[in-house]
Amino acid sequence: MRRKDFLQLIPTTPLATGALSAAAEAVRVAGPTVFDPSRRHERDFAPTGALKPLSANLYVYEDCVNVYIVKRGARAAIINFGTGDVLKVLPRIGVKSVDRVLVTHHHRDAVQGLADAGEYRFLVTVPRAEARYFQNVEAFWQNAGIYLNYDLRSHWNTLRRSVAIAGQVAGGDEVEWEGYTFRVVETPGVTEGSVSYSAEIDGRRVVFTGDLIAGAGKVNNWFDLHWAYYGFTQGIDASEKSFERVRAESPAMLLPAHGDPIPQPEVAMRENSRIYTMLRGMLPPNSTGRTRREMRHILPHLIHAGGPECQNTGVMTTYAILTGTGKALFYDYGYVDLDHIRKLKRDLGITHAVITFSHYHDDHLIRTFELMRDDNIEIWVLDKMADVVENPTRHRLPCLVPFPIKPTRVVRDGERIEWEGYTLEFFHMPGQTEYHQGLAVRIDGRKVMFTGDNTWKKADPTRIRSGPLVPQNVYFLDGGFITCARKMLEYLPDIVCPAHTEEYSPSKEDLEGFVEWAYNLREVMTGLIAQPDPNFGMDYRWLHFYPARQIAGKGEFDVELRLRNHLFRPGTIRVELKHGAEVVCAAPVRTVRVAAKTEVAVPFTLRRVAGFGRRAMVMADITFNGRRLGEAAELVVD
């Protein structure tokens, strides 16, 4: 089924299931999500708040993470802190005081309650490698980069303010408490500095593993396992080494931050490893690098622009369609050398240029600012990515340029433009990023398709075609490469012009393999991600502020919190804004009802009252159908 067919089946208004508050009536339906109706399920979030015994002196409180309680009489040590609501339920099991909090990693859902607790008497111990995300948070946020960012590690999932810590630990350290010995095990995976704690409790060796694993063959999400931009398997590679360290503890049970206790550790870790082995074969792009740097004719009226000898061939992304009448259409205009392009234009007699982009990344459009000084150009941008290109400050995405590019023409998905004797077919082509355009056109009698970063010339012709999966670019499991691969198979191009390799001519069998890979990727990720719908663990921005960055002076400003309900059932979502004294919000709590497979925009009005000249952070704390998910989105106020 094609994506446009999916959209016809999606509800476009919230389902009426009771009276809505006056505030909720202002919520705007921002659109449908991308989904395949044939994959319908009845799963939902399980409500939080339960307190369960695991043995005589070991309990779990189900919060936005599992908070584990180890008792010694009326005193307790706890592993992770969640929202801090665990303190309210401790009297039920006879605990009157907490002595220690042992933290596995810095993510907000593990520790956000520390920022609300004020002065606390218990001792907080954190991983040494992540101490700065606890005790120097303000400095982190002041220096957090937004533009030209290729570091996709989950550092932004950091507390909104600094908290007091009493100790820092690394692998091999031991924390003694009331006769218990908590041995520290380095277990990077979702973060580079994560640790686990191994202890014998009630005669049984258990390991508190944080987000390392969420069940047999399960993880909480995929996007935290993608570290550097091109580090497609860095997180799972680190996790494999962490499994070995956990095995050395000979645990009888693993106690994860998300998911149920794991009574068969070896079976569970082996299943994760089996899936990780599959993903190592599927994820790293099977591609050559670009080897030819000269400007050259692919066809009489199609060139690759090339670049000078001093330029890295990897950033030579520019193609041009020639007309013979002094006009040209440049596809992508990234790190091109201006003198080289001027010479190319003189040599080919180009006097007028149309520029269009496969996607918004800097290496595909950054030098456009030089051409914008020239009145004799047009800039065409696909509607799906027009706002990212024209208003980059409103988004937090990898590889953003730090300046706006205003289109002279916005083209629609599927629009055909008759231009200088060519029929140019523009279409949405998600894959490496949701904000991606494809272009199909017949040139010199050959069917040519421009695919940007979605797929490249294969290094191994016998290997199945794949694409670079980068979830922080926004990826939907029922769209993404499934949409891209099906479009390529439908068009059956004679020549594909990719961004970072030489052109190639795929066979039908090759493109059928690409489609098969895309569907297999969806299946593997669906099985791996421990969420009621796997898109919650793949869609990095299922919850995000728009704009993501607000440049605010004195006075009020408006933002939207955009939320995608990936479930096949309605969602009741409670939102509470959390922030410091620099910002105020008169109505920080909203409860909204969101239809199945629908995106909504929840408006908030805030006011900057202090701290001008310094960055302030606002977080959105979410409860979804009774499940406390915690501070799952952040707004930058500059």
Binned at pLDDT 50, 70 and 90, residue 16 comes out as very low
Segment 578-596, tens digit of pLDDT: 999 999 999 999 999 999 9
Residues 6+ apart with CB under 8 A from 373: none
| pLDDT for the residue 402 | 94
Task: Looking at 463-542, list the stretches that DSSP marks H as alpha helix, in order from N- to C-terminal side.
Answer: 480-491, 508-528
Average pLDDT over residues 34-39: 97
In this prediction, residue 171 has a pLDDT band, given cuts at 50, 70 and 90, of very high
DSSP letter, residue 465? P
**pLDDT for 296 beyond 80:** yes
Min mean pLDDT across 247-251, 341-345, 584-588, 620-624 is at: 341-345
Q: Closest Cα to residue 33, out of 511, 530, 460, 430?
A: 430
Share of the chain above pLDDT 90, in %: 91
Sheet containing strand 302-304, strands side by side: 296-299, 302-304, 319-322, 327-331, 352-356, 377-382, 409-411
Residues β-bridged to residue 76: 71, 98
Across residues 147-154, what is the average pLDDT? Answer: 96
Domains and CATH numbers, the chain: 3-44+542-637 (2.60.40.10), 63-282 (3.60.15.10), 296-528 (3.60.15.10)
Q: Which value, to the nearest 10 degrees, does the dihedral of the CA atoms of residues 500, 505, 506, 507 take?
A: -170
Q: What is the pTM of this model?
A: 0.94
> For the segment 433-459, what is each residue's pLDDT rounded down to a tens digit?
999 999 999 999 999 999 999 999 999
Q: How far apart are CA 149 and CA 201, in angstroms?
A: 44
Percent helix, strand and coil across the chain, each to the nearest 5: 25, 30, 45
**So what's the pLDDT on residue 235?**
98
Query: Count of CB atoms within 10 A of residue 305's CB?
Result: 23
Percent share of the chain, pLDDT over 70 = 96
Using an 8 Å Cβ cutoff, are 225 and 239 in contact? yes
Alpha-carbon dihedral 208, 212, 215, 216, rounded to 10 degrees: -120
Report pLDDT for 13: 31
Average pLDDT of the chain, as a whole number? 94
The yes-or-no verdict on residue 538 having pLDDT over 70 is yes
CB atoms within 10 A of CB 296: 12
Nearest-angstrom CA–CA distance, 9 and 189: 38
Whole-number CA gyration radius for the chain: 26
Q: Looking at 154-201, which runs of residues are DSSP E strands?
A: 167-169, 174-177, 180-186, 195-201
Strand order in the sheet with 174-177: 174-177, 180-186, 195-201, 204-210, 253-256
* Residue 621 DSSP label: E
User: What amino acid is encoded at 243 in this protein?
Assistant: F
Residue owning tokens 């191009």: 493
Give tens-digit pLDDT for 90-132. 999 999 999 999 999 999 999 999 999 989 999 999 999 999 9
Predicted local distance difference test score (pLDDT) of residue 373: 75
> Is residue 139 scored above 90 in pLDDT?
yes
Residue 559 and residue 546 in contact, taking contact as beta carbons nearer than 8 Å: yes
Model confidence at 11: pLDDT above 70: no
